Structure 1
Amino acid sequence: MKLPTHLIEKEISDEIVNVSDLQPQTRYVRCKVVQEFDRLFISDVIFERCEFLFNDLERAEIQNVHFRYCDLSNLNFFDSYLGSIHFEDCKLMASSFAKCFMRNVQFSNVFARYVGMMGSKVEDIHFMKCDVSESSFQELNFKRLSFHECTINKANFSGTPMKGLDLRTCEFDAILFTGKEVEGLKIRMDQAVHFARQMGMLVD
């Protein structure tokens, strides 16, 4: 997996910056980010402890960007392209990535409950030590998707074939599915009990 790489040339701190004025190879620290135009392109920057004063990133193109300690909750990334992105120690609660194309994206220690990723196409997407409880991964078209040491309680995988997905390091009491999506899913023996109960079996 290719993660964002940056040759940082300058740092801008504690300023109000417009998305259209973002400069490549720049680290933005504790900045307030605002938006004036509907079409968004963000590339080759680092955001650290920044605040985003808007919630619509619909149809954006975001490439080679590293978000660290940012609160991105409730942001709408609908129908956007995200390539070589790293979300690290961020909040993404209730953000929407529906109908997105995502490639080479890593979520590290991210609080991402209630995230919506319905109907997206994703390649090389990795969640590490994240909480994605009650998030929606419905109708997901994926290649190389992984969850490592994540909390995924009541995450919804309806309509997403889970063959080859490995959840053995994750914790959950239930995962939502409608039928054969779980065929080929890798789980622990104790996790199998949850699936059996969901399917109406009596387990002693």
Structure 2
Amino acid sequence: MPQEMNAGTKESADFLTYVRPFLEEETPLSCEKFCKVSLKQVKLDQIDLRRSTFTDCTFSSCSLAQASFTDVTFAHCDFSNSILTDAFFDKCCFLSCRCIGTNFGGSVFKHFSADDSIFQYACLDRSRMTDIHFTHCDFTEASAAESVLRRLTAKDCQFLHNNFFHTPLSGIDFSEGEFTSPIVSSPPSELKGITVNLIQAAGLAGLLGIHVKIS
């Protein structure tokens, strides 16, 4: 059985040693605090974390495929170029995190929030999101094709050149941020039911073959 450690913050030196038995026995880790963990090209597939926090941690080009996170907070963490395909996030929060080029393909997000975080070039294709709140996030050139988005709010976020092919966006209000040049079907059925401001609407009109003159 995995050995328990005294309560406290765990750093890089003992992180892998500590989690390895849990991974081998497919046992969840609960009520943990991890700080300043820095890993590169490490495989942590199917890790199961619950009611825990990560602060100032870096997972560079790591694999966390099919990982499960429940009630986990990530603050000032970096998952750039890592693989989190088919992962599960429930009641999780990203605070000032970097996920540049991160692959979240096929993942499930429930009751998830992200604030002041970067998801540039991230892959969210085939993801399922329910009860999501994004604030001050940058999704420039991220892809969320063939995804399901339910009850998603976005405030002061950047959605520039995103792939939303076959992803219905109905009910999402993009008016309080940037929403430019999405990749969608022709005609753009994905955009039906969205809310945008006048400037955004003028830019999107081109997808319908309409030229708008702003005097």
TM-score range, shorter chain: 0.7 to 0.9
Aligned length: 196
CA drift at 1:15: 3.0
TM-score with structure 2 setting the length: 0.83
1:115 and 1:37 mapped to 2: Cα distance? Answer: 19
Are positions 1:30 and 2:36 aligned together? yes
Are positions 1:12 and 2:4 aligned together? no
Which residue is equivalent to 2:164? 157
Q: Which amino acid aligns with 2:193?
A: G
CA drift at 1:47: 0.8
Q: Which amino acid aligns with 2:207?
A: Q
Q: Name which structure has the greater RCO, CA cutoff 8 Å, separation 6+.
A: 1
Q: Which amino acid aligns with 2:136?
A: K
Structure 1 runs of 4+ off > 6 angstroms? none
1:139 and 1:199 mapped to 2: Cα distance? Answer: 21
Are positions 1:199 and 2:190 aligned together? no
CA drift at 1:196: 0.8
Q: 1:16 to 1:169 in 2, by over 3 A?
A: same
Which residue is equivalent to 1:3? none
SS in 2 for 1:15: helix
Q: Indicate conservation of the 8 Å contact 2:59/2:80, yes or no.
A: no
CA drift at 1:21: 6.1
Which one has a bigger Cα radius of gyration?
Answer: 2
Larger helix share, 1 or 2: 2
1:78 to 85, 104, 121: 85
Which residue is equivalent to 1:128? 135
Structure 1: gaps of 5 or more residues? 1-8
Identity %: 23
2:106 to 99, 104, 107: 99
CA drift at 1:16: 3.9
Q: Indicate conservation of the 8 Å contact 1:154/1:176, yes or no.
A: yes
Which residue is equivalent to 2:3? none
1:63 and 1:85 mapped to 2: Cα distance? Answer: 6
Q: Indicate conservation of the 8 Å contact 1:77/1:96, yes or no.
A: yes
Q: 1:21 to 1:70 in 2, by over 3 A?
A: farther
CA drift at 1:117: 1.0
Structure 2: gaps of 5 or more residues? 1-6, 23-28
Q: Which amino acid aligns with 1:191?
A: Q
Q: Which amino acid aligns with 2:104?
A: F
Which residue is equivalent to 2:26? none
Aligned-CA RMSD value: 2.0
Are positions 1:68 and 2:86 aligned together? no
Which residue is equivalent to 1:39? 46
Q: Which amino acid aligns with 1:17?
A: F
1:116 to 114, 123, 130: 123
- Provide Cα deviations, 1:68-113, integer angstroms capped at 9, x if missing partner: 1111111111112111111110100011111112111111100110
CA drift at 1:163: 1.2
Q: Indicate conservation of the 8 Å contact 1:105/1:124, yes or no.
A: yes
